[in-house]
Structure 1
Amino acid sequence: MADSAEPGGYPRGVKLGVDVGTVRVGVAVCDRDGILATPLRTLQRNAKKNTDVRILAGLVQELDAVEIFVGLPRTMKGEEHASAQMATEYAKLLVSTLLAAGSGVPVRLVDERLSTVSAHRELHQAGMSSKNHRKVVDQVAAAGILQHAIDMQKARGTDVGRRVTADLPPGPPGDGAQAAPAVHTHSAQRILPDMEGYSEPGQS
């Protein structure tokens, strides 16, 4: 739950940044005042069972996050191709999972051009060998996405990014509501237990 709303209308509180890849998903978090984004963890992408999406939704609940920023890869010309579509679909899946758990925390897509390139450069400058980059580069990239978002919020005095809505089927005529997708029936109580036994990539 948000501590309060800033004058510009964007929420104050813990926020998450997400860098979506085909193999790994990086996650970052910022403090309640939105000053500094830091790497949090790397999740193994599981497109069949979507365990990583449920773990991420569990982190939102555990950290009491008020907003999530998912990086939207664009070309230098601002075009959106396959990787951008993948990030968009992932964001929609996250929204659906959160809604099924009774959470309406907003998920927003923000431009992430060169975030991974910048992350590799930062790790190199920090003295980390290239072979060790893979373990943390996704969460460092996520921190870059989140830092960019919270900095823009303060600079512009308003919320940033494009809010994502889930592709939900319409409910019965006249009820004025939408039904949650059948594939996402996890309750808030079931999300966090699904995290038990999960190992980071490279861990036993």
Structure 2
Amino acid sequence: MGRVLGLDVGDVRIGVALSDLLMITAQGVETYKRVDEKADIEYFCDMMDKYGVDTLVVGLPKNMNGTLGEQAEKVQEFAEKLKEASGRRLVYWDERLTTKSAHKTLLEADMSRKKRKAVVDKIAAIYILQGYMDSL
């Protein structure tokens, strides 16, 4: 079984997390600043090849009542294109509370607003991936 890549997809940035080889912990890789769709997809395909990723877990931003809004549709559109380009298995993970949890963690760590903004997407990606791995 290969590694799993977790993504928290936003319009400007994508938080990136990667499973360890034993599938026990999710590790934050980076907060990727989006360029354009073609470049973004190429970047993540290369990353999946480099790290031996066979499953892609993408956080799906559902509304609190469980419905999908405009942002969720944008995320799905990108994720489906990435799945097609990479040939990897795609899993959606309900991310309703991950960004909120990430902000809370960073506030508790007494991190400045500027630093929080730079890493919150990566932390959210860790929560998405860890939640998925814990469910297996």
Q: Is the TM value for this pair above 0.5?
A: yes
Aligned to 1:19: 8
Percent of residue pairs bearing the same amino acid type: 37
Q: TM-score, normalised by structure 1?
A: 0.64
Q: Does 1:140 align with 2:123?
A: yes
Aligned to 2:112: 129
| Higher relative contact order (CA closer than 8 Å, sequence separation 6+) | 2
Equivalent residue pairs, number: 136
- CA-to-partner distance for each residue in 1:10-35, whole Å, 9 max, x for gaps? xxx31110000010011101112211
1:78-97 equivalences under 5 Å are 78-97=66-85
Choose 1 or 2 for highest CA Rg: 1
1:11-50 equivalences under 5 Å are 13-47=2-36, 49-50=37-38
- Dislocated runs of 4+, deviation >3 Å: none
Between Structure 1 and Structure 2, which shows a larger proportion of helix residues?
A: 2
- CA-to-partner distance for each residue in 1:39-80, whole Å, 9 max, x for gaps? 101111234x53122111111000001211000001111110
Distance 2:24 2:7 in 1: 17
Task: Give the residue type in structure 2 aligned to 1:144.
Answer: Y
1:99-178 equivalences under 5 Å are 104-153=87-136
Aligned to 1:196: none
Structure 1: gaps of 5 or more residues: 3-12, 99-103, 154-204
In structure 2, the residue corresponding to 1:50 is in which secondary structure?
helix
Structure 2: gaps of 5 or more residues: none
Quote the RMSD (CA, aligned, Å): 1.2
Aligned to 1:67: 55
Q: TM-score, normalised by structure 2?
A: 0.94
Task: Give the residue type in structure 2 aligned to 1:75.
Answer: N
Task: Give the residue type in structure 1 aligned to 2:76.
Answer: T
Between Structure 1 and Structure 2, which shows a larger proportion of strand residues?
A: 2
